[in-house]
C-alpha cells in the first residue's frame, strides 16, 4: 500500500518556531524555525515511511493564535518578523531537498491539503496530514489520518486522528466537525457562528441531529430559549458559517506526474543550505546520506609523501618559488608525538607522513628551519603547534625555549588563522577549516566528522585504515589556512581590527605559549594533606546529614536532596524549578534557620566542591616536574577575555578562607617570589573613560573609594557619613551598571524591593549624568549596527537586539552595555600581558609571567630581579592604556599565591 504524507507548512513552521529557543547563525539570521521544521519533517518521514510527499503553504503569511495571545481571542497577531523571514528559507530548503512546495493564489493551504488528501485517497493511498491546526480534523477518513504534534515537556507527542478517533474524541464525525464549527464560530478565522452557542451546545446538538440542517428541521423539538431563538434568527449566518468552515477539497491543483514521489532528500544543494544556516544538528543526516563527494574536489591533488627526497624536494621547490607564506597543520595524538604535517601553498598541498625514514624530530626541525628563514607559517592553532614542537626538542633546546620564549626559538613569524577568524566573530563555538572554508572561500570541504565519523582524531591517527582520511583532513586544514588567511585579514582590516590582530592577539599567542610552558609549582604533599582534611570533615557532615534525614541518599544529587528536604522532611519554602525543587545555595541559605540540616548541607556542598574540583582536580593535573600547566584559550569568550582550562586556574577559590588555603600550595621556584598585581576597579575606570562622565572621572581622580563615593551620591549622604550598608548597596549598583542594569536583578542581589532598586538606579543616573546617555547610546548603536565594539575596535555581534521576543531583546541590551566595558578591560590587560612578557625577555630577566586572571597578573620573579620586575610590572600595567583616569594597580609579593594576593 502506498503512502502519502502531507504537511501544513505555515502551521508546522509556527510550531517549530515557538517550540524552540530563538536560534541564530553567526550572521545573525534566525534559524530556529528552519531547524525545527526540517527536524520535525524528517521525523515524520522516518515514522511514516511515505513514498509520496508534499508540503502546502498559504500564499501569504497567515496570522496565528498562540498560547500567549489566548487572552485576546479574535485578534490574531500577525506573524512575528523572526518567523516570517524564515518561511521563504524553509521553502528554499524544501525545494533544495526536492520536496514539492505547493501554494495557490486564492486557495488556502487547508484547501490544498484537503484536495491532495482526497485525490490521494481516491488513488488508493494511505494519507497522513501533519498540522497543528485542529480545523483539519474534518478531513479525517478511514484512510486519511490527521497528525497533530503537541509540544509537551519531555518532547513532542503526536495525536493521530482517523475518522473513528475524531468521533471518539469529539462525539461527532469529521464532516460534522464542520457543523460544530459553524454553530460555535471561530472569531480568529472570521467565522461568525451563532450568538450564544459555544463548544458544548454545538457538540451536543450536532451529536444529536447530525448537521445544522437537521437541527434547523427539528428546531421545534428543542427546548425553547434564547439560544434556540438566536439559532432561528441567525440561520443565514449559520449557513454562511458552515460554508466558511468547510475546507474545499476541489481546488484546481495540477501536479506534474510523479512530482510528489519521495526521493533522496539529502541533496548537495540542501547540504549547502544547512551549512549556510549552521544547522549543525542536521548536518550528520546529510553526511550519512550523501556520499563523501563534496563540492570541492581538491582532495585528489593532495599528495602524501614519506621519503626524504620528496620532502626535500618540496622544501627546495618552496625556496625556489620564493613563497614566504605556507598553510600548515601538524597532526599529533594525545602523547603529543607528531604523526605528520600538511603544508600548503595553494596549488600544491602535501602531507608529510612520519612513517619510515621521516621522524617527527626531522620534520619538526624542518618546520622551524623554514620559519626562521622567513617563511610565514599559518596554523589553525599556533600555540598548540609550538607545544608539539617543544615536546620533540633536546634538553638544551627546551632550555633555550623556556628562557628566550617560543617566538624567538620556534616560529618567529607564524600566524594563526583561528585567532584571526575569532576576531571576525567571537561568538562561535569553534573555528574549524570546514567552517572558514565555506564562509570565506565559498567551498564545501569535508569536516572532521565526514572523514572520521565518530572516531576521535587521536584514534584516527593510530588507525592505518584512516590514513587516507587523516591526509585529506590535514591537507584541507593546511590548504584553507593558506587560502583563507588573506581574506580573513582583509575583512579584519575592513572592520578596523587590524591593530588588535597585529598588536594584541598575535603577540598574545606567544605570550600565552610561554606562560603555559612555564606552568606553576605545586606543593603536592600539602595539596594531598588539604584534601585529607576536607575528607575528614566531609565524612562527619555526611553522617550528620543522614541521621538528620533519617536515611542515606546521594547528597550530591539535587533531585534526591530536594525530595528529602521538601517532601520527606517537610521543610517549607522550597522553590520549584522546571525539574523539581531548587537546592541552590541562595535558596537554602534563606532556609538555614529552619533546620540545622540545611547548614550541614551547605557546608558539605562547599567542602565537596573544594575537594572534587580543587584538591583532587588539581592533583590530577600536576606534571612530573611538580608544575601544573593550564591551557589558555584565546578564541572562546564572546567579549575578548581569555579562558583557562585543564585545569582552570582562573577560578581558584579566594573569597572564603577555607577555599583560599588552596592558594598556599602554589609556590614560586627556588630563589623566586611571586609578584601578584591586579588592576583596581578596571571596569569602572573603563566605564568612566568611555562614558566621559565628569563625576565618575572626578571621583577616581580624587582617589576616592569609588563605592563610597557612589553611595554618597545615590543616597544623598555626605561622603564621611556613608554607612556600611549604603556602601554595600552602592557597590551592587556599580556592578549592576557594568552588567547592564535592571531593577529586578539589582533588587534580587541586595534584597530590597524592585521599586527601591529602581530608585537607586534613577539616583545613579542623576549622580552620573553622562552615564545614561552613554549606555543608551550603546544600545541604540548596537541595534543599528548589529554589533558593539570595545575602545580598541574589538567587535561582538548581538543579533538578540533585533529580536521581537522581549526577553531575548532585553538580554541583547544588557550585553550591549556590558561587552564594551568587559571587552575593553580585556583588551587592556592583554596589552599589559604582552608588554610585561616582552619586556622581561628584552631586558634579559629570568622572571616569568605565569598567570592572568582577568584583572590580575602573577609573575614568578627572581629575588635578585625583584625591584626591577616590580617596577616593570607597574609601568606596563599602568601604561597599558591612556584613559581619562589613571589605571591603578595593587601589587603584593609572597612566598605563596595566597600570600601574594
Partner DNA sequence: CCAATCACG
Partner DNA sequence: ACGTACGTGATTGGT
Residue 659 binds DNA, judged by CB under 7 A: yes
Report CA-CA distances (Å) from 291 to 42, 435, 452, 516.
Answer: 19, 19, 14, 42
Residue 758 binds DNA, judged by CB under 7 A: no
Instruction: Name the residue among 162, 121, 120 with its Cα closest to residue 145.
Output: 162
Q: Can you read off the three cell numbers belonging to residue 281? A: 544538528
Q: State which of residues 80, 239, 654, 891 lies at the interface with DNA (CB under 7 A).
A: 654
Residue 868 binds DNA, judged by CB under 7 A: no
- Number of Cβ within 10 Å of residue 321's Cβ equals 11
Candidates 316-324, 444-452, 641-649, 878-886: pick the segment binding DNA (CB under 7 A): 641-649
Cβ–Cβ under 8 Å, residues 182 and 242? yes
Q: Residue 414 or residue 853: which is nearer to DNA going by CB? A: 853
Site for DNA in 665-724 (CB under 7 A): 678
What minimum distance in Å lies between the beta carbon of 766 and DNA?
17
Q: State which of residues 312, 552, 646, 843 lies at the interface with DNA (CB under 7 A).
A: 646
Residue 810 binds DNA, judged by CB under 7 A: yes
Annotate each residue in 564-583 with x if it binds DNA (CB under 7 A) or - if it does not, as one string: -------------xxx--xx
SS3 306: coil
Burial readout 452-483 (b: 16 or more C-beta within 10 A, e: otherwise): beebebeebbeeeebbebbbbbbbbbbbbbbb
Candidates 234-242, 393-401, 615-623, 762-770: pick the segment binding DNA (CB under 7 A): 615-623
Site for DNA in 364-383 (CB under 7 A): none
Q: Residue 648 or residue 868: which is nearer to DNA going by CB? A: 648
Residue 26 binds DNA, judged by CB under 7 A: no
Within 49-102, where are the H helices?
81-84, 86-96
Residue 327 binds DNA, judged by CB under 7 A: no
Cβ–Cβ under 8 Å, residues 338 and 376? no
Q: Taking CA 72 as the corner, what is the angle to CA 69 and CA 73, rounded to the nearest 5 degrees?
A: 95
Site for DNA in 768-807 (CB under 7 A): 806-807
> Rounded to whole angstroms, how far apart are CA atoms 745 and 764?
15
Q: Residue 188 or residue 648: which is nearer to DNA going by CB? A: 648
Residue 153 binds DNA, judged by CB under 7 A: no
Enclosing H/E stretch for 674: strand 672-679
SS3 835: helix
Q: Over the Cα atoms of the chain, what is R_g?
A: 34
Q: Taking CA 823 as the corner, what is the angle to CA 682 and CA 497, rounded to the nearest 5 degrees?
A: 130
Q: State which of residues 535, 811, 839, 870 lies at the interface with DNA (CB under 7 A).
A: 811
What minimum distance in Å lies between the beta carbon of 743 and DNA?
7
Candidates 52-60, 238-246, 640-648, 703-711: pick the segment binding DNA (CB under 7 A): 640-648
Q: Residue 102 or residue 504: which is nearer to DNA going by CB? A: 504
What minimum distance in Å lies between the beta carbon of 818 and DNA?
4
Candidates 58-66, 80-88, 374-382, 638-646: pick the segment binding DNA (CB under 7 A): 638-646
What minimum distance in Å lies between the beta carbon of 581 and DNA?
7
Q: State which of residues 626, 745, 777, 793 lies at the interface with DNA (CB under 7 A).
A: 745
Residue 656 binds DNA, judged by CB under 7 A: yes
Q: State which of residues 650, 704, 717, 763 lies at the interface with DNA (CB under 7 A).
A: 650
Concatenating the DSSP letter of every residue in 87-98 gives: HHHHHHHHHHTT
Q: Residue 251 or residue 741: which is nearer to DNA going by CB? A: 741
Q: Residue 407 or residue 901: which is nearer to DNA going by CB? A: 901
> Rounded to whole angstroms, how far apart are CA atoms 790 and 823?
6
Q: State which of residues 72, 308, 357, 744 lies at the interface with DNA (CB under 7 A).
A: 744
Candidates 293-301, 611-619, 692-700, 835-843: pick the segment binding DNA (CB under 7 A): 611-619
What minimum distance in Å lies between the beta carbon of 225 and DNA?
35
Q: Residue 276 or residue 575: which is nearer to DNA going by CB? A: 575
CA torsion through residues 644, 647, 648, 650, sign: negative
Burial readout 865-882 (b: 16 or more C-beta within 10 A, e: otherwise): bbebbbebbbebbeebbe
Site for DNA in 449-488 (CB under 7 A): none
What minimum distance in Å lies between the beta carbon of 617 and DNA?
3
- Number of Cβ within 10 Å of residue 51's Cβ equals 15
Cβ–Cβ under 8 Å, residues 19 and 39? no
> Rounded to whole angstroms, how far apart are CA atoms 755 and 500?
42
Q: Can you read off the three cell numbers belonging to residue 349? A: 598541498
> Rounded to whole angstroms, how far apart are CA atoms 171 and 214?
17
Q: How many CA atoms lie within 13 A of 107 on its CB side?
A: 20
Site for DNA in 548-567 (CB under 7 A): 554, 556-560
Residue 613 binds DNA, judged by CB under 7 A: yes
Candidates 178-186, 465-473, 501-509, 812-820: pick the segment binding DNA (CB under 7 A): 812-820
Q: Can you read off the three cell numbers belonging to residue 628? A: 601544573
Q: State which of residues 648, 680, 704, 717 lies at the interface with DNA (CB under 7 A).
A: 648
The CA-based dihedral angle spanning residues 210, 212, 213, 218, taken in that order and rounded to the nearest 10 degrees: 80
User: Omega of the bond prior to 334 within 30 degrees of 0, cis?
Assistant: no
Query: What are the DSSP E strand ranges found in 83-141?
Result: 101-102, 126-130
Residue 645 binds DNA, judged by CB under 7 A: yes
Q: Residue 246 or residue 631: which is nearer to DNA going by CB? A: 631
Candidates 355-363, 470-478, 520-528, 644-652: pick the segment binding DNA (CB under 7 A): 644-652
Q: Residue 403 or residue 557: which is nearer to DNA going by CB? A: 557
Q: State which of residues 25, 147, 184, 818 lies at the interface with DNA (CB under 7 A).
A: 818
Residue 115 binds DNA, judged by CB under 7 A: no
Q: Residue 654 or residue 845: which is nearer to DNA going by CB? A: 654
Q: Can you read off the three cell numbers belonging to residue 468? A: 587516507
The burial class, CB within 10 Å (0-12 / 13-18 / 19+), for 500 is: buried
Residue 605 binds DNA, judged by CB under 7 A: yes
Q: Residue 56 or residue 746: which is nearer to DNA going by CB? A: 746
Burial readout 629-650 (b: 16 or more C-beta within 10 A, e: otherwise): bbbbebbbbbbbbbbbeebbbb
Q: Cell 581538491 identifies what position?
A: 298
Number of residues that bind DNA (CB under 7 A): 73
What minimum distance in Å lies between the beta carbon of 655 and DNA?
3
Residue 190 binds DNA, judged by CB under 7 A: no
Residue 16 binds DNA, judged by CB under 7 A: no
Q: Residue 138 or residue 639: which is nearer to DNA going by CB? A: 639
The burial class, CB within 10 Å (0-12 / 13-18 / 19+), for 844 is: exposed
Site for DNA in 839-858 (CB under 7 A): 853-856
Q: Residue 127 or residue 732: which is nearer to DNA going by CB? A: 732
Q: Residue 412 or residue 617: which is nearer to DNA going by CB? A: 617
Instruction: Name the residue among 799, 167, 331, 188 with its Cα closest to residue 180.
Output: 167
Instruction: Name the residue among 320, 333, 304 with its Cα closest to residue 370.
Output: 320
Residue 815 binds DNA, judged by CB under 7 A: yes
SS3 340: strand
Residue 585 binds DNA, judged by CB under 7 A: yes
Residue 162 binds DNA, judged by CB under 7 A: no
Residue 333 binds DNA, judged by CB under 7 A: no
Residue 644 binds DNA, judged by CB under 7 A: yes
Residue 429 binds DNA, judged by CB under 7 A: no
Residue 739 binds DNA, judged by CB under 7 A: yes
Residue 310 binds DNA, judged by CB under 7 A: no
Report CA-CA distances (Å) from 445 to 376, 473, 475, 704.
Answer: 24, 9, 11, 58
Amino acid at each position: 500500500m502506498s503512502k502519502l504524507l502531507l504537511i501544513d507548512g505555515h502551521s508546522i513552521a509556527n510550531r517549530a518556531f515557538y517550540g524552540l529557543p530563538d536560534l541564530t547563525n553567526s550572521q545573525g539570521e534566525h534559524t530556529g524555525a528552519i531547524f525545527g521544521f526540517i527536524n520535525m519533517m524528517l521525523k515524520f518521514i522516518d515514522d511514516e515511511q511515505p513514498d509520496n510527499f508534499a508540503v502546502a503553504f498559504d500564499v501569504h503569511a497567515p496570522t496565528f493564535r498562540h498560547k500567549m495571545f489566548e487572552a485576546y481571542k479574535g485578534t490574531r497577531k500577525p506573524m512575528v518578523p523572526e518567523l516570517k523571514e524564515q518561511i521563504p528559507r524553509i521553502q528554499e530548503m524544501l525545494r533544495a531537498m526536492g520536496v514539492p512546495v505547493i501554494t495557490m493564489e486564492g486557495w488556502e493551504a487547508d484547501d490544498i491539503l484537503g484536495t491532495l488528501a482526497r485525490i490521494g485517497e481516491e488513488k488508493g493511498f494511505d494519507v497522513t496530514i501533519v498540522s497543528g491546526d485542529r480545523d483539519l480534523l474534518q478531513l479525517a477518513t478511514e484512510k486519511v489520518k490527521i497528525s497533530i504534534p503537541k509540544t509537551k515537556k519531555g518532547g513532542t507527542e503526536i495525536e493521530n486522528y482517523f475518522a473513528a478517533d475524531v468521533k471518539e474524541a469529539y462525539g461527532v464525525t469529521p464532516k460534522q466537525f464542520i457543523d460544530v464549527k459553524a454553530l460555535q464560530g471561530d472569531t480568529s478565522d472570521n467565522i461568525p457562528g451563532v450568538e450564544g452557542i459555544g463548544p458544548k451546545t454545538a457538540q451536543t446538538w450536532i451529536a444529536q441531529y447530525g448537521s445544522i440542517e437537521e437541527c434547523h428541521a427539528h428546531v421545534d423539538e428543542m427546548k425553547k430559549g434564547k439560544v434556540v431563538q438566536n439559532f432561528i434568527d441567525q440561520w443565514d449566518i449559520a449557513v454562511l458559517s458552515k460554508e466558511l468552515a468547510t475546507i474545499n477539497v476541489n481546488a484546481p491543483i495540477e501536479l506534474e506526474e510523479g512530482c510528489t514521489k519521495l526521493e533522496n532528500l539529502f541533496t548537495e544543494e540542501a547540504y549547502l543550505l544547512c551549512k549556510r544556516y549552521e544547522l549543525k544538528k542536521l548536518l550528520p543526516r546529510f553526511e550519512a546520506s550523501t556520499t563523501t563527494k563534496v563540492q570541492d574536489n581538491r582532495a585528489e591533488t593532495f599528495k602524501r609523501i614519506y621519503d626524504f627526497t620528496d620532502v626535500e624536494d618540496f622544501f627546495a621547490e618552496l625556496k625556489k618559488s620564493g613563497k614566504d607564506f605556507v598553510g600548515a597543520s601538524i597532526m599529533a595524538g594525545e602523547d603529543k608525538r607528531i604523526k605528520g604535517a600538511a603544508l600548503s601553498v595553494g596549488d600544491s598541498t602535501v602531507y608529510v607522513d612520519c612513517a619510515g625514514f621521516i621522524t617527527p624530530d626531522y620534520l619538526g626541525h624542518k618546520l622551524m628551519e623554514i620559519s626562521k628563514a622567513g617563511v610565514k607559517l599559518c596554523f589553525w592553532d599556533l600555540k598548540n603547534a609550538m607545544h608539539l614542537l617543544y615536546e620533540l626538542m633536546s634538553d638544551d633546546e627546551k632550555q633555550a625555549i623556556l628562557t628566550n620564549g617560543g617566538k624567538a626559538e620556534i616560529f618567529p613569524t607564524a600566524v594563526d588563522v583561528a585567532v584571526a577568524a575569532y576576531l571576525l566573530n567571537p561568538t562561535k563555538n569553534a573555528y574549524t577549516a570546514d567552517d572558514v572554508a565555506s564562509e570565506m572561500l565559498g567551498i564545501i570541504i569535508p569536516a572532521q566528522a565526514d572523514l572520521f565519523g565518530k572516531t576521535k582524531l587521536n584514534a584516527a591517527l593510530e588507525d592505518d585504515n584512516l590514513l587516507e582520511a587523516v591526509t585529506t583532513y590535514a591537507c584541507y586544514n593546511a590548504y584553507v589556512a593558506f587560502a583563507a588567511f588573506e581574506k580573513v585579514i582583509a575583512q579584519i582590516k575592513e572592520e578596523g581590527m587590524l591593530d588588535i590582530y597585529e598588536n594584541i592577539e598575535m603577540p598574545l599567542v606567544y605570550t600565552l605559549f610561554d606562560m603555559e610552558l612555564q606552568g606553576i609549582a605545586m606543593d603536592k604533599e600539602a595539596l594531598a594533606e588539604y584534601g585529607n582534611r576536607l575528607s575528614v570533615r566531609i565524612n562527619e557532615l555526611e553522617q550528620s546529614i543522614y541521621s538528620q534525614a533519617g536515611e542515606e541518599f546521594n547528597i550530591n544529587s539535587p533531585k534526591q536532596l530536594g525530595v528529602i528536604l521538601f517532601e520527606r522532611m517537610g521543610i517549607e519554602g522550597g522553590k520549584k524549578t522546571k525539574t523539581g525543587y531548587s537546592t541552590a545555595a541562595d535558596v537554602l541559605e534563606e532556609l538555614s534557620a529552619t533546620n540545622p540540616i540545611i547548614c550541614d548541607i551547605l557546608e558539605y556542598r562547599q567542602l565537596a566542591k573544594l575537594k572534587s574540583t580543587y584538591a583532587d582536580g588539581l592533583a590530577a593535573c600536576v606534571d612530573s616536574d611538580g608544575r601544573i600547566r593550564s591551557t589558555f584559550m584565546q578564541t572562546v569568550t564572546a567579549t575578548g577575555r581569555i579562558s583557562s582550562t585543564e585545569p582552570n586556574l582562573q577560578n581558584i577559590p579566594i573569597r572564603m578562607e577555607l577555599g583560599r588555603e588552596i592558594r598556599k600550595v602554589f609556590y614560586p621556584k627556588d630563589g623566586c617570589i611571586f609578584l601578584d598585581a591586579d588592576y583596581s576597579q578596571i571596569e569602572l575606570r573603563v566605564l568612566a573613560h568611555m562614558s566621559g562622565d565628569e563625576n565618575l572621572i572626578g571621583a577616581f581622580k580624587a582617589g576616592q573609594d569609588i563605592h563610597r563615593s557612589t553611595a554618597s551620591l545615590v543616597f544623598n549622604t555626605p561622603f564621611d557619613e556613608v554607612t556600611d550598608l549604603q556602601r554595600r548597596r552602592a557597590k551592587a549598583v556599580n556592578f549592576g551598571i557594568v552588567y547592564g542594569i535592571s531593577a529586578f536583578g539589582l533588587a534580587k542581589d541586595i534584597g530590597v524591593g524592585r521599586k527601591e532598586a529602581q530608585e537607586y538606579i534613577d539616583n545613579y543616573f542623576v549622580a552620573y549624568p553622562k552615564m545614561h546617555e552613554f549606555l543608551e547610546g550603546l544600545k541604540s548603536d548596537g541595534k543599528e549596527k548589529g554589533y558593539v565594539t570595545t575602545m580598541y575596535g574589538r567587535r561582538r555581534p548581538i543579533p538578540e537586539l533585533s529580536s521581537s521576543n522581549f526577553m531575548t531583546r532585553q538580554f541583547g541590551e544588557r550585553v550591549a552595555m556590558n561587552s564594551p566595558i568587559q571587552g575593553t578591560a580585556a583588551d587592556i590587560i592583554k596589552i599589559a600581558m604582552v608588554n610585561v612578557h616582552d619586556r622581561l625577555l628584552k631586558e634579559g630577566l629570568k622572571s616569568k609571567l605565569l598567570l592572568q586572571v582577568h584583572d590580575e597578573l602573577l609573575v614568578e620573579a627572581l629575588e635578585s630581579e625583584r625591584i626591577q620586575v616590580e617596577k616593570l610590572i607597574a609601568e606596563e600595567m599602568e601604561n597599558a592604556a591612556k584613559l581619562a583616569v589613571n589605571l591603578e594597580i595593587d601589587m603584593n609579593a609572597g612566598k605563596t599565591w595566597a600570600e601574594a594576593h
